[in-house]
Chains A and B, each alone.
Chain A
Amino acid sequence: MADLLQLLVAGLATGGIYALVAIGFTLLWQTSQTINFAQGEFVMLPAFFVLIGMGYFGLSFWPAVALGGALSVVLLGLVFKKLMVEPMIRHGVLPLVIATIGLAILMKEAVRQFYGADAWPFPVLAATTDVTVFGAVFAVQSLVILAICVAVVVALQLFLGGTRTGRCMQATAQNPTVARLLGIRVERMILYTFLINGALVTVASILITPIYLAKFTNGEWLGLYAFIAAIIGGFNQVRGAIAGGLLLGVVDNFAAVYLSSQYRTAIPLLILIVVVLFRPQGLLGRIEERTV
């Protein structure tokens, strides 16, 4: 029982990180029909910004995080939106998908070329000690990660539901034409979602990199997990992405322990295929209507 509880908490912690990445992914899809195939690389990169800040500019950890976060929000939010999404989205969804695949390769190769192909250690947020609660041993790191993920998600939900800007963003996501008629500055709202995505991937990057080390290939499986989380939860729902992310993290951790480690990565993929087969709108999603 104690083992189960430990696994559950560890799974929820990684699942929380997947959820953050998946939320960003669904936000971009909802407001601008952007399917970002470089989302995984978006998570890989901020950790390297932090490492550069610490290694080359001699900053200590938190100032480097602030620098990395600012760079990520500007580059992965503003510049990505202005230079890639805006010129391409008028050609339809497909060219942008291809371009983000190209962007993923570009980011990966750039990191390999300019920073190196090794796996670099990354500072941990909390001490790697354990605490014992009711006979179960939890890693402090997992608890900290989980707490941060919950805090970020709650803050985001409060912002989206409780502020005027947040509600305007939701209106834009639901129906851009009507939102524009109501006087909402749709373009600005779309830009905000890109900036939020930049911030979310930074948080995810800082949380996940201490566990898996900073490596240029990290984006490959992170992006895949974000897609899977978004799809099993429901492509068009923020709470779908949260549920999908948590579920994926838990299943992944249990599969690693109780099923073959060789086929550990196969489990999320099988879940994805089953969900697309039987419930394509996702567990919490709603069906999108086709438009002519």
Chain B
Amino acid sequence: MRHSRSLAAGIMLALGAAFLVVAPLGLKPYGIFILSMWAVMTIAAIGLNLTLGYAGQISLAQAAFVGIGAYLTAYLTTKGWPFWSTYMLGGVSCFAIGWLLGYPALRVQHHYLAFVTLAFNTLVYLIFRNEEWLTGGIYGISNVPRPVVLGWSMNGPREFYYFCLAHLALVSVATWWLLRSPWGLAFVALRENPIRALSLGVDTRRYTLMAFALGAGLGGISGALYAPLVQFIDPTPFALGLSLNLLLMVVLGGSGYFFGPFLGAIVAVLLPEWLRFTEGFYLMGYALLVIVLMAFSPSGLLGLADRLTRPAPRGAP
């Protein structure tokens, strides 16, 4: 029974991966753009899943980290810096900022992190909007160049899509490895029972902080890809709305499930494009879906699938 379940999951995974590789061949540039956006947002959501799903902390600042990564890349690459250096810088600086931000907030009860990150996101947004000398204010930064990898230009939509997809694959493998390491197991222990983890000698505060900072770092990496994808950035996309949206993505897909963010990002990024004719009703339906899921399956769509396909416990009819 267990065997057939993992076989089915494996087949679906292979089909999904094959679709992602083949899809751009049959899509118009706009479709490829949306698919690239899905990959970029999934990276940010994977980061948030580390914070929320594995360390059990609500962060409402993921959009700010995506924004910091995006602005760093946009500002520096338009000044002539090579992409890979700004990419690294985006990830590392967001990790450091996340560490500094989480350090005081995690001293106290966990919902304080939600409020502090909420305030942080709004502060960062205000800086993006008001510091015109640095960020271009509401006019933003335009003409962000796309990178050249080993002499091969990533300028076309298809090339850049594969570039984003490669990064998504890289991030997925790294996260997969992390979650199977002793660190990842400590993250899970934190979520399941922080006080028991503490009594077993896990330095809970340090691991929680680590999960939060790593999540922030992935947000920065996602932003570093966002800037050359859109090629124009302004403050609006990095307001609190995106943070809330990313949070709902993770929860909807299934927080604490490795593939939760992938699924959540499909619902939040791809579905609205296909369901465009529904206009404002889409968001209402989305919000309603989140509420209903929280009542019946707090572990999201994957949690629901898990429960429905799990063999009935022994003794049950």
Contacts and interface: CB of A to CB of B under 8 A. Distances in A.
Interface of A: 35, 84, 87-88, 91-99, 101-103, 105-106, 109-110, 112-113, 220, 224, 227-228, 231, 262-263, 265-266, 269-270, 272-273, 276-277, 280-281, 288, 290, 292
Interface of B: 56, 58, 104-105, 107-109, 111-112, 114-116, 118-120, 122-123, 126, 130, 195, 240, 244, 247-248, 251, 280-281, 283-284, 286-288, 290-291, 294-295, 298
A277 B126 contact: no
A221 to B, nearest CB: 9
Given A113-B281, A266-B126, 16 more contacts: A88-B295, A95-B294, A99-B290, A99-B294, A99-B295, A101-B290, A110-B284, A112-B280, A220-B240, A231-B115, A269-B122, A270-B123, A272-B115, A272-B116, A281-B108, A288-B109
Contacts of A273: 116, 119-120
A103 B291 contact: yes
Contacts of B112: 231, 276, 280
B280 A109 contact: yes
B123 A266 contact: yes
Given A276-B115, A276-B116, A106 B287 contact: yes
A101 B244 contact: yes
Contacts, number: 108
The prevalent SS among residues of A at the interface is helix
Most buried by B among A84, A98, A266: A98
Nearest to A271: B119
Contacts of A106: 284, 287-288, 291
Contacts of B118: 224, 227
A98 B290 contact: yes
Contacts of B284: 105-106, 109-110, 113
A153 to B, nearest CB: 24
A254 B247 CA distance: 34
Contact of B247 (A92, A101, A272): A101
Contacts of B111: 35, 93, 97
A224 B239 CA distance: 14
B114 A97 contact: yes
